Structure 1
Amino acid sequence: MPGGLLRAEKGGATAFACVALAGLICLTLLVGQVGAVVVARHRAQAAADLGALAAAGALAEGAEVGCAQAGEVARRMGARVSRCVAEQWDVVVTVEANVALGVFGVRTVGGAARAGPVDPDG
């Protein structure tokens, strides 16, 4: 009865291939979502860097003007300033940005940067 045993397993490879393909598609989607978060995090960090530089450049006009400049730069880069602190000639800017993850909802990523004059002793 070897022929009967062979007939009982017909289609097993097709079922296995379908399950393997579904798993591969899920893994690809997961890697894509992780990539989207990484890209959003890098963009938030770039917005923080440029916002801190803009704020430091405008500190001669006052801390409020500097932080307003940081907010404008962050807004143009698709982020928002969550914190801007100016002490003497140093500025620390923290920004947040949202990233949509499809079925996983919307998450918030952030970045922080400091800008100010160069310390010749450090």
Structure 2
Amino acid sequence: MRGEPERPRRGRDRDGDRGSGTVHALTLTLVLGVLLLTVLLLAQAGIATHRAGKAADLAALAAADTARGLVAGDPCGTAERVARDNGALLELCELVEPGRVVVDVRTTVVLDGPLARIGAARGVSRAGPPEVSGAP
């Protein structure tokens, strides 16, 4: 038996890559999970930014109508109510001189969860009467 070639052993020492497929599958699953979580967080931030912009637009339009006298009340009070009804906080409301019928509005939507660290989503809008052609 001394002249016979040695056969490879069957056992743990034979294949050092045994089980590596499981490790690769777990790693791939973890990477895909992190990517999915990142995409979901970015989508949540985008939705909050859209909500802040929508609230700013609606608040500015309502405040401009109030400033022009189409609706009774305080323009900035109306803007605050409309922003709140749309899930945002009114951060700024200014009547623009000289006519004080154009309104600048800035709103914020607070982000919660892990996105709270980056701050609130903001929306900015300006509204007023349409320009009359031929006016100076």
2:78 is aligned to 69
Greater per-residue strand proportion: 1
For structure 1, the 5+ residue unaligned runs are none
Query: Could you list the per-position Cα deviations for residues 102-122 of structure 1 after superposition, in whole angstroms to 9, with x for gaps in the alignment?
Result: 334353010100100111349
Match of 1:39, SS? helix
1:1-122 matches, within 5 Å, as: 1=8, 7-60=15-68, 65-87=74-96, 88=99, 89-100=101-112, 102-105=113-116, 107-121=119-133
1:6 to 1:65, Cα distance in 2 relative to 1, 3 A: farther
May I ask how many residue pairs the two structures share in their alignment? 120
Query: Which residue identity lines up with residue 33 of structure 1 in the other structure?
Result: L
Query: Could you list the per-position Cα deviations for residues 58-93 of structure 1 after superposition, in whole angstroms to 9, with x for gaps in the alignment?
Result: 0145xx800100000001111111111112210010
Q: Segments of 4+ in structure 1 off by > 3 A?
A: 1-6, 103-106
Structural RMSD (CA):
2.3
Greater per-residue helix proportion: 1
Query: Which residue identity lines up with residue 105 of structure 1 in the other structure?
Result: A
Query: Which residue identity lines up with residue 57 of structure 2 in the other structure?
Result: D
Please tell me whether Structure 1 or Structure 2 has the larger radius of gyration of its CA atoms: 2
Provide the C-alpha distance between the structure 1 equivalents of 2:68 and 2:114, rounded to a whole number of angstroms. Answer: 46
For structure 2, the 5+ residue unaligned runs are 1-7
